[in-house]
Amino acid sequence: MKLNTVPIKLTINNQNYTDEAMTFIFFNPPNVVDAGPMVGPVKGGTVINFYGTNFEKKNITCSFGKYNVTGKFISKSQIQCIAPPYLEPGNVKLKISYAHDRFASETFVFKYIADPVLTSILNSCGPKEGYTQFNILGRNFEEASSGKAKCIFNSTIFMNATVLNTFTIVCNSPPLESTNGDMWYNISITLDGASVFGSSGKFKYYN
């Protein structure tokens, strides 16, 4: 970050000035042009990327409401922050700054959401060729950003999911792979690509 400085002297009569000058420094705070995702679970862990210009590799502070965490310098155009845990769902103000500097980026709003809860699965059976559409019901379904929601089968197979509303997710079953004779997959979901929430239900296959 390039600093511009000017000397400052004091006078009370516009004629006599102090001998020694103080230095006033002009600088630009972090200039953010885009950031996201702006939604994440209350348990924390959401990785937020800030994109902008002229970021500096120095001590970076990410402020989530009353909580501060250390940010990560990626490049002069990218900074990352990891959301800390929060006590309850709701919106908090989010901004980034350099340590000990008085000025920060513009303020964003980060939304903490309660952990999703899976209560039931509808139409949870289909042919082993896969691509059977079925619904997962529950609450607190809110996608962190477009394309992040996935239905996960046996913790290893990820399929795109559609969040219809906060109570319903639509999934497609994958083709059945060799599972030592088992004709079912355990089901879990992710809404942000990182946090995984399981279900007691299974998707069952038939020939």
Successive 10-residue mean pLDDT values, the chain, 207 residues: 60 68 63 87 90 87 92 93 92 87 81 91 94 95 83 95 95 86 91 84 92
Chosen domain end from 113, 138, 161 = 113
pLDDT of residue 51: 94
Amino acid at 93: K
* Structural domain range at position 73: 25-113
Q: Is residue 179 part of a domain?
A: yes
pLDDT of residue 1: 41
Q: Is omega for the bond preceding 37 within 30 degrees of 0, making it cis? A: yes
Full-model pTM: 0.65
pLDDT of residue 122: 94
Task: Assess whether 137 and 102 both reside in one domain.
Answer: no
CB 188 within 8 A of CB 196: yes
pLDDT of residue 26: 54
119-153 burial code (b ≥16 CB/10 A, e <16): eebeebebeeebebebbbebebbbbbeeebbbbbb
